[in-house]
Structure 1
Amino acid sequence: MTLRCLFVDFDSFFASVEQLDAPHLRGKPVAVIPVIATTTCCLAASKEAKRHGIRTGTGVADAMRTCPEIAMQVARPARYIEVHREFMEVIETCIPHGKAASVDEVPCWLIGRERQRGNAERIARDIQGALLERFGDALTCSIGIAPNKFLAKTASEMDKPNGLVVIEQADLPHALHGLQLRALCGIGPSMEQRLRDAGIHTVEALCAASRERLRRAWGSIEGERFWLQLRGFELPERSTQRASLGHSHVLGPELRDVAGMRSVLFKLLAKAAMRLRNERLQAAGMAIRIRFVGMERRYEKDLRFAPLDDTPALLRLLADKLSPLERAADSGRWNPKRHPPLSVAVTLLELSESAALSGELMGERRRARLASALLDKVNQKYGNSALYLGSMGKAVAKGAAPMRIPFQTIPDPIREEESGLHGISQAPSTANDLLQMRMNQFNVLAEKTHREREARRHRPSGAGGRGMTRPVPPTPQSSLF
């Protein structure tokens, strides 16, 4: 009885929810996107779209070229959370589940006779059958069963969609040999390269490597943890302290100007500040990142300050760091029409517990913190952005940077969902953005997709200069960065 974890992974979850709610989309390729723009990329793809090679990170323009009949749906995080809670109820009828690993992944722990293979497989089929009864065939899940959560998650990816894979202790390690290195949770592009640099090119070689060799490859004890997990050991979760907190957003076409960029950054920071206070934390640092259309270099500002958590003070610090960029636009050193802002991000750093800090002595700071507390109280009661600072007005009016779904937590829609005040329609179709970690990954993918498209535009099309695009002359903007 080596089986300890049953891992439920919903197939193409975001796209499947769209097909669930719109029966005419079932059986057709669907992609979920953050904003209506061909310059962004897909957040998720349906099973049908994946057959055309469309995946998370595929450029929207490329997806439409590859599959002209694909339906593009703007993401609806609030609806995904609602369905998440429904399927958690369904799983609960079959087996007690643990804390959701993400909005579309749920580990369940097997005990006693549940660890016998036949019983574990029956529970998995019961879950899939209960989902079929509740949602029909629009929403399916793949399930992996293994000695630990790491292997169970890996197994859940091995037979999609609607599959069931069991890996027992006796199946290790050969059951993993056919996988690519990137198929294992925890191995991304940079880690894959580090393994290759260490002479490890396959999962078979990874499994054969010694504990010490993996520690050297990882450069930390994480290599030893990985070695143990490959062998079926269930390791305790490490307690970690949050080091940063922030938000990012790919700007819609209507916000790709100085005012839109500024407004969205202010809204992102106000949201981060509210989360900061909700978690009883204060920040002593801030990182600002802005990317531009057609430019490799980005605008980067990092600052440090005395620990604080009030929105007005943080916004003043942000405004001060944006002023050089705004002056560059006014003077003509930066041409926002030629190189408009593409994506923005703001991250609060050097976090510490509020209780660990002395109380405010300055009256102005005390009033700022009281004002922040009032903002939180009103917005938690009436919806996010029911009350907001005027500098956020354009972002609020355009519905930019609404609720997102962090990778490892399920947000509270009461706190995160936009308010219906101010005459702003808050139909679910206006929401966008994805999981926080995945959103960070998505930003990289979106920017990479955009750069590749720009490169193709300026790439010579033939020999002898025929059809060649003249190189874009350098602009004085480079002095900005």
Structure 2
Amino acid sequence: MRKPETIERLYLDFDGFFASVEQQCDRRLRGRPVGVVPFEGTDRTAVIACSREAKAYGVKNVMPINEAKRLCPELVLVPQKPDLYRRAHNALLSEIETVIPIDTAKSIDELTCRLDEAGRSDPLTLAAKIKATIAENVGPWITCTIGFAANRQLAKIACKAGKRDGGRYGDGLTIWRPEDLPAALHAVTMEEIPGVGGNMAKRLYRAGIFTTEQLYNVQAKHMRKLWGNVTGERLWYALHGYDIQAPASSRGMFGHGRVLPPESRTIRGAREISRLLLIKAARRLRRENFYAGGLWLWLSIRDGTWMGKRHLPVVNDDQAILSALSELWDQVGKDHPRGLMIFRIGVTLYDLSPSHERQLDLLLNDDCQRRRWENASKAIDNLNTRYASTVVSLGQWRPPAGGHVGGKISYTRIPSAEDFW
């Protein structure tokens, strides 16, 4: 396994991305504390993302609105515009590509690049050029923090460490050369290391590991034992500066979730929105040439959660998938005959099969009927693609207040244009 002798990776993270895009597009928001919310007209949701001015007051992402306003009474609430953020993401990547090739867009607001010889020898000039290109060609209110290190994982940690360098938030730059480590890494809290989530941190505490330095000094095989799989050992090599590459991930599911507006928090209202979300998920399933063998419905309710699953006979057409959803909602009605308050819903198609590996259910002789429904779904998709809008759907297409069915803010997935049809 190779251990680089110099910096080879750049990791870039946009600062308060969603709020800064709003500020760039609306000059009335510039310099003011901004909180992006799911939809306007209610204080019964959370701030999804906030600007650097709001963060200075202690406001954090995914914080209840009432708590955020208590910390920052001047907070300006702005309803989300997911399609705007998608277009901003594409514009920003296009500008960065004029300076350096992008290796991977890790999320809508993070990316990583491999450094050429010039970037390795003079990262300060490279970072300044990237920042200047963004400011000149997109706008000065969208800033970024950049980290340099020997591998992607260390560059990401360096980037996160630079977010609040010098007591200010954002527009940072951190360079961790191999000779700077492990001292620079030891200054980072263990919980800030990617891969050390809340549950993993508790496990490390029980093992007597409380600091990054203690974690760094653990042996590779012990790290594997602590994590219970090879991920721990892979993290050990990453922290020690090796050029470790994560294995390629495979698609495991297609799904969408949504916080419900107050007027849709009944079984009837939630059921209709879940139907639209599932149609969006099924469209993505077909675009990427998969079939699904299962459907999962998840509800966040007043007293906890409700979850249900249904087996699917390896399908990708709307009729079969929506029929299974209807069965799940019938079960919700039986479990809660007096109704219930639903705050959030999620639908997921899982147990995926690539189209060229599809195995039909031998006990379910519905192949002829299924192919007709598949052809109907393909025809609907083709019409919607032609007009770049949902002009045809199985059942009525009435998005809820605030829209964004299947096109919400996502930190882990970069939405496509089709998500907003």
The match for 1:326 is: 333
CA contact (8 A) 2:312 2:324 kept: no
Q: Is residue 217 from structure 1 mapped to residue 226 from structure 2 by the alignment?
A: yes
1:142 to 141, 145, 162: 145
Give the Cα separation in 2 of the matches to 1:90 and 1:365: 46
Give the match for residue 167 of structure 2: none
1:278 to 287, 311, 314: 287
Alignment-mate amino acid for residue 410 of structure 1? I
Matched, 1:348 2:355: no
Corresponding residue for residue 131 of structure 1: 134
- Tell me if the contact between 1:383 and 1:416 (Cα under 8 Å) persists in the aligned partners: no
Q: Deviations over 1:154-213 (max 9, x none)?
A: 111112211110001111111011222221112211121122122211111111111122
**Residues 402 and 243 of structure 1, relative CA distance in 2, 3 Å threshold:** closer
- CA shift in 2, pair 1:106/1:81, >3 Å: same
**Is 2:19 the partner of 1:12?**
no
Partner of 2:320: 313
Residues 220 and 264 of structure 1: is their aligned pair in 2 closer, same or farther, counting only changes over 3 Å? same
Work out whether residues 78 and 417 of structure 1, in 8 Å CA contact, stay in contact via their aligned partners in 2.
yes
Alignment partner of 1:122 is 2:125: yes
Counterpart in 1 of 2:30?
26
Select 2:371's aligned residue among 350, 357, 366.
Answer: 366
1:176 is matched with: 185
Q: When the two structures are superposed, what TM-score results if normalisation uses the length of structure 1?
A: 0.80
Kindly, what percent of the aligned residue pairs are identical?
A: 33
- With 186-195 and 277-286 compared, the bigger mean Cα shift is at 186-195
Contact 2:14-2:144 within 8 A present in 1 as well: yes
| Aligned pairs for 1:62-461 within 5 A | 62-116=67-121, 119-160=122-163, 161-292=170-301, 294-296=302-304, 298-327=305-334, 333-336=337-340, 340-357=341-358, 362-390=367-395, 393-395=397-399, 399=403, 401-404=405-408, 406-413=410-417, 415-418=418-421
- SS for the counterpart of 1:350 is strand
Q: 1:342 to 1:132 in 2, by over 3 A?
A: same
Please state how far the C-alpha of 1:8 moved relative to its aligned partner: 1.5
Q: Answer 1 or 2: which has greater strand percent.
A: 2
- Secondary structure at 1:343 match in 2: strand
Give CA deviations for 1:316-337 in whole Å, capped at 9, x if unaligned: 01101211323455xxx4343x
Paired letter, 2:17: F
- SS across alignment from 1:276: helix
Distance 1:279 1:402, change over 3 A: closer
Deviation (angstroms), 1:361? 5.8
**Alpha-carbon contact 1:15-1:45 (below 8 Å) kept:** yes
Q: 1:21 to 1:398 in 2, by over 3 A?
A: closer
CA distance in 1, matches of 2:45, 2:115: 42
Moved over 4 A (4+): 358-361, 405-409
Count matched residues: 406
3-state SS in 1 of match to 2:103: coil
Structure 1: any 5+ residue segments left out of the alignment?
419-481
Is contact 1:260-1:395 (8 Å) kept? no
Greater relative contact order (Cα < 8 A, sep 6+): 1
**Which structure 2 residue ranges, 5 or more long, are not aligned?**
164-169
Conserved? CA contact 1:290–1:343, under 8 Å: yes
Find the residue that maps to 2:63 and give its secondary structure. coil
With the length of structure 2 as denominator, give the TM-score of the two structures.
0.91
Pairwise CA distance, 1:362: 3.2
Give 1:25's aligned amino acid: L
